[in-house]
Amino acid sequence: MVNTLDGLRDAFLMHKISANTMSNPLAMEAWEKANREPSKVRIWVYFCMSGLEDWGKTVVWSEING
């Protein structure tokens, strides 16, 4: 479970991008922005665009400050 900003950043950096996500230009744009500035909002946008099931982790967004 991810419930801290540091944990969210680590999960984002360790996340393997699926072929399905790579074929989605909006998801890849969100990934590029989050990669440049891994803030909660940018990672959340990528998380949504990439398909929640691709992450395989439970993210408790309400507990993450940032």
pLDDT tens-digit readout, 7-57: 999 989 888 888 888 999 999 999 999 999 999 999 999 988 887 666 667
- In the chain, the number of structural domains is 1
Other CB atoms within a 10 A radius of the CB of residue 8 amount to 24
Domain holding 36, by residue range, is 5-63
Cα 5 to chain centroid, rounded: 11
pLDDT at 56 (0 to 100): 66
